[in-house]
């Protein structure tokens, strides 16, 4: 094997331009072989059973694998090719099998247990005790106590789940790439503003076509469904987008995820039962703040009871407006965004297209970094030397402390393009890890799918886009500002899944503050600050259709949780039946029978949110209450970007990772248990 394989180096940052699909298999094989040899040495009869030799060596072995796998996994998501996909999938299967066997290694479990039982363990640092406790819990959740044949069956399930979830995500990506509509008569784009047309023109240019190309990339879908006067075009885009990877739509059956969903849910159920849980939902709660399924359901249904009447009134208002002002006698699913935008503009005189001109991406980024800098005493700026990246649009920034020392880094990949998964996310490139005299500083991937620069102007964001960017950078700050030097419990790793959204949702609140907006909300060409009347219109419209938005989130959360809670192998997954039952309970909007939203629900079927999508709302209680501390400090007319409060938030929440339970971290910052009032106020609902 070549010694210059870029995945086998120990550099601080990956050499993305040098990574080839052919490097993946040899690198992973070599690393897994070394990993196994390291475990064997760790378990030798004469090897010490103390924290340094067991836990630190385990972290060291795991980090070598992570340093190679993180860039491969990321490239698979943002620069997919057939060759890379094949190499990724083959390597993933090997890694999954290896980690399943590792999780069931009773000798290693006993070694960790010995660390926990050693004299003086209780006097060790809180982070070290937490790392051991998390490791023991994860062993149990990996089936370390199982006997044959359950032991082997559990490993088979893990391997098959990895294959199925990867195939699910691939199908969604492929289905989205497969559909497009070429438009050559600009009259067919009536209603779509110039910024939206420029994006569609750019999509056509990429394929060497004249005119415009409507695709299923998010900027295209948003432009058409929100603005296109052509109702037929809106319907076709909605139909194609909402039937991706299903048995319906323009590619019916070609990328169908139906069987994969059935298989994924069956495998999760079987794994949970093998571990002694009643179902996959109960198993998921073993690593969350919520204690029981009843607690989750009560939380969601209480919100639904408050939100549904509001949502129903909002929908009736929209229907009446659509009938009397837009001539739409029936309000179809593909009319909702279009009619809502017309109503918002009529009611609040808020022109989203005019507003976008004040949110050029470069300025928003600078403002975001300025907020983070003032809150946490850091600077975020482009790297001073050239950094190897995977696409010319990607930027790398260094995070420096108050003394100018580099403490972290972040890759920014912000534009939609072919071969890149939709959505927005933050992921780990490198974790903070102190190994002897060397410290590996944390590095994050921050990925969005905004409209690229077009028509001679920079990328212009909607206010929703601005909140998305702040949200994902909130995740990034959680990772980048950790002070925990054990990767398994540092940053976002190990944090309860229903609390991990707290720092990200917390950051969104700053997007509504005038002082913060004045840092970056300036017209892209004139430099004019966001006019007062536009800001007031934004505030007035903040809770526009908040009830409809909230019940939609509740629909997603209840559907996901009940799907895993009520799974019965006798009747199978019952995906669409469960969704319909949830809609009858909480929804006010009922889409066409052919809509297949679950088939592209990657959060649940290909991500980490299985039986945990409720986490967004659960964590929003924490984030809204945390931001209220900044508002209380600011008082009337004060500055919510308060360095002292920010320092406490960094010390008590961002910096401690999973070294203690999330509830303890929240209470250390807030001085009390979380209260739901701030969440309800953030949606404009009565407390």
Geometric angle at alpha carbon 184, from 181 and 188, rounded to 5°: 75
- Using alpha carbons only, how large is the chain's radius of gyration in Å? 25
Sort strands 395-400 and 379-382 into parallel, antiparallel or unpaired.
Answer: antiparallel
Region of residue 245 (phi > 0: left; psi between -120 and 50: alpha; otherwise: beta): left
DSSP string covering 2-27: -TT-GGG---SS--GGG--HHHHHHH
Determine contact, residues 234/189, Cβ cutoff 8 Å: no
Determine contact, residues 180/195, Cβ cutoff 8 Å: no
Say what the alpha-carbon torsion angle 363, 365, 367, 371 is, to the nearest 10 degrees: 180
- 148 has catalytic annotation: no
| Angle separating helix axes 293-325 and 615-634, nearest 10 degrees | 80
Determine contact, residues 289/498, Cβ cutoff 8 Å: yes
Q: How far apart are CA 667 and CA 499, in angstroms?
A: 13
DSSP string covering 282-300: HHHGGGSS---HHHHHHHH
DSSP string covering 404-433: S-EEEEEEEEEE--TTS-SS-EEEEEE--E
Write down the catalytic residue from 472, 496, 501, 555. Answer: 472
Q: Side by side, which strands form the sheet with 395-400? A: 379-382, 395-400, 406-415, 443-450, 425-430
Q: How far apart are CA 22 and CA 83, in angstroms?
A: 8
SS3 574: coil
Distance of CA 651 to the CA centre of its chain: 24
Determine contact, residues 175/254, Cβ cutoff 8 Å: yes
Q: Which residue is listed with tokens 């950790």? A: 482
Distance of CA 671 to the CA centre of its chain: 29
Tell me how crowded residue 343 is: count the other CB atoms within 10 A of its CB. 20
Q: How far apart are CA 421 and CA 177, in angstroms?
A: 10
Active site residues: 472
């Amino acid at each position: 094997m070549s010694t210059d394989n870029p995945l086998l180096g120990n550099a601080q940052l990956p050499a993305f331009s040098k990574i080839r699909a052919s490097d993946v298999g040899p690198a992973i094989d070599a690393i897994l072989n070394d990993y196994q040899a390291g475990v064997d040495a760790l378990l030798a009869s004469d090897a010490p059973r103390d924290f340094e030799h067991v836990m630190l060596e385990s972290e060291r072995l795991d980090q070598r694998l992570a340093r190679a796998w993180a860039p491969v996994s990321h490239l698979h998501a943002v620069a997919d090719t057939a060759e890379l996909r094949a190499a990724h999938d083959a390597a993933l299967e090997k890694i999954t099998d290896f980690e399943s066997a590792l999780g069931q290694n009773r000798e290693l479990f006993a070694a960790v247990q010995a660390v926990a039982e050693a004299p003086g363990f209780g006097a060790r640092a809180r982070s070290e005790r937490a790392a051991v406790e998390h490791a023991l819990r994860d062993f149990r959740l990996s089936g370390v106590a199982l006997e044959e044949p359950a032991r082997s069956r559990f490993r088979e399930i893990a391997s098959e789940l990895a294959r199925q979830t990867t195939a699910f995500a691939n199908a969604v990506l492929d289905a989205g790439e497969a559909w497009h509509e070429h438009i050559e008569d600009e009259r067919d784009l009536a209603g779509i503003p110039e910024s939206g047309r420029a994006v569609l023109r750019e999509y056509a240019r990429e394929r060497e076509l004249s005119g415009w190309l409507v695709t299923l990339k998010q900027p295209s879908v948003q432009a058409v469904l929100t603005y296109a006067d052509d109702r037929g075009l809106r319907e076709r885009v909605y139909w194609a987008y909402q039937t991706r990877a299903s048995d319906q739509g323009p590619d019916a059956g070609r990328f169908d995820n139906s069987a994969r969903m059935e298989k994924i849910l069956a495998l999760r159920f079987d794994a949970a039962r093998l571990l002694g849980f009643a179902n996959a939902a109960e198993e998921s709660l073993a690593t969350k703040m919520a204690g029981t399924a009843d607690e989750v359901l009560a939380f969601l249904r209480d919100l639904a009871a408050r939100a549904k009447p509001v949502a129903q009134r909002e929908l009736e208002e929209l229907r009446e407006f659509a009938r009397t002002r837009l001539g739409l006698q029936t309000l179809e699913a593909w009319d909702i965004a279009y009619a809502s935008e017309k109503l918002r503009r009529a009611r609040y005189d808020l022109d989203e297209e005019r507003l976008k001109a004040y949110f050029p991406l470069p300025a928003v980024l600078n403002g975001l970094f300025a907020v983070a800098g003032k809150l946490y005493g850091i600077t975020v700026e482009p790297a001073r030397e050239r950094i190897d990246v995977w696409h010319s649009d990607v930027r790398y920034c260094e995070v420096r402390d108050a003394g100018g020392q580099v403490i972290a880094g972040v890759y920014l990949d912000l534009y939609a393009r072919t071969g890149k998964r939709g959505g927005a996310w933050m992921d780990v490139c490198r974790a903070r890890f102190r190994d002897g005299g060397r410290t590996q500083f944390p590095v994050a991937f921050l990925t969005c799918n905004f409209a690229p620069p077009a028509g001679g102007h920079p990328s212009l964001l909607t206010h929703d886009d601005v909140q998305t960017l702040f949200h994902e950078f909130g995740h990034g700050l959680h990772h980048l500002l950790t002070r925990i030097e054990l990767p398994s419990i540092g940053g976002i790793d190990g944090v309860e899944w229903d609390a991990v959204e707290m720092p990200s949702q917390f950051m969104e609140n700053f997007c509504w503050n005038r002082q913060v907006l004045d840092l970056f909300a300036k017209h892209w060409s004139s430099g004019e600050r966001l006019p007062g009347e536009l800001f007031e219109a934004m505030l007035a419209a903040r809770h526009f259709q908040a009830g409809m938005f909230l019940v939609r989130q509740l629909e997603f959360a209840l559907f996901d949780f009940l799907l895993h809670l009520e799974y019965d192998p006798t009747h199978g997954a019952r995906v669409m039946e469960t969704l319909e039952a949830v809609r009858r309970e909480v929804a006010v909007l009922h889409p066409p029978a052919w809509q297949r939203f679950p088939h592209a629900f990657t959060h649940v079927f290909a991500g980490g949110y299985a039986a945990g999508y409720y986490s967004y709302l659960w964590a929003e209680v924490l984030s809204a209450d945390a931001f209220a501390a900044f508002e209380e400090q600011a008082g009337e007319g004060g500055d919510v970007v308060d360095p002292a409060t920010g320092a406490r938030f960094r010390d008590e929440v961002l910096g401690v990772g999973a070294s203690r339970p999330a509830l303890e971290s929240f209470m250390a910052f807030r001085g009390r248990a979380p209260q739901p009032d701030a969440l309800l106020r953030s949606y404009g609902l009565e407390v």
